Amino acid sequence: MMNKLNYRFNNNKFKNMENNFSFMAFAKGNESKEGTVIKHYVGMCPVKIVAVNPTKEELSKIYGHEVTNERNYVTEVERNGKTLKQVMINFIAQPVKIKDKDEEVPNITVPIVFYIANDYIYNGDKSKVQIIDKYGRTAWATVEEVKDHKIPVYKNGPAHIDTDYHPALIGEPAVVEFLKKYLNLEEVEYFNREAGKYIQNANPDNCEASLSEIGEYFKGNFKELKNIIGYQPDNKIRVAFGVRKADDGRLFQVIYNKVINKLRNTNYAAIDASIQQDKKNGGLRNTEYSIEPLHEYDVEATDFNKDPQVTENPFTAPLSNPFA
């Protein structure tokens, strides 16, 4: 039987094309391999901070491959017809083993992200503003109290805050608290249950925690933050790892930044309580955290039953400075 190819060239219709026909050969191809599986993790684990707001060259060295785009850490956001400058504070963290007997930790690099905006933190009716002192303690004061640097007095007594305070910028207290945990600073005073009163730290100078050059951040100068991390480059903190689902279904490794534990603190109740409160308030709908020991994330075990929602920018305070 004449095969189809011979038929084509014996057929009068194609006979004149025979000399012009060329056969294509197959390339050798490539070995078939499975795609790289990106693992994600949830749970508690100590981390070290290897950089803060790194340049693309620094990031390339950290990640082990070239980072082509320079990160812009200073941006502007529009809220209610007003423009606010916003700074991203990006602490680059890596999991670490504390003891030789500890299980191996994954070789991953995860940012711990904070934002600071160039306006103040007001209460709901804007009758009070949050203040922060040189020890990183916060309280709420009226505009008049701030102008005169008076200590606010509540129903249960005066606020535990030094007169050396200033109105806190949006996001500033969270960054200060994080750095206090990272540097393992002691509190300037603590409540003694046996004595039933607050006790002053014998060395208050060792408790100072204030960002004195925060205005430089909005110019893209993060030297102060880099120096602070450099005070204790080998320090570790305990954080909760999580996984966030993006709108397109991709998964991203994240770290919970609202509550951070010092290295010696292995009680994660406060972290869990904060996470559960966020969920109750309608947050974290596309993010899963755990306070169990760090372990690989099981996608099938979690049902993101609601579409991811974009969190509104909280930087809504007015731009005017009533404290001048």
Model confidence pLDDT, tens digit, residues 137-192: 999 999 999 999 999 999 989 999 999 999 999 999 999 999 999 999 999 998 88
- Predicted TM-score (pTM) of the model is 0.81
Q: What is the pLDDT of residues 109-126, one digit of tens each?
A: 999 999 999 999 999 888
The percent of residues above 90 in pLDDT, for the chain, comes to: 68
What's the whole-number mean pLDDT along residues 300-317? Answer: 46
| pLDDT for the residue 70 | 85
Backbone angles phi, psi at 284, to 5 degrees: 55, 30
**Residues 6 or more apart in contact with residue 297 via CB below 8 angstroms:** 39, 40, 41, 42, 243, 251, 288
Q: Has residue 310 got a pLDDT over 60?
A: no
Looking at the chain, list the stretches that DSSP marks H as alpha helix, in order from N- to C-terminal side: 4-10, 12-15, 56-63, 143-148, 172-183, 214-217, 223-231, 269-280
The answer to whether the beta carbons of residues 229 and 182 sit under 8 Å apart is yes
Which is nearest to 119 in space by CA: 76, 152, 63, 161? 76
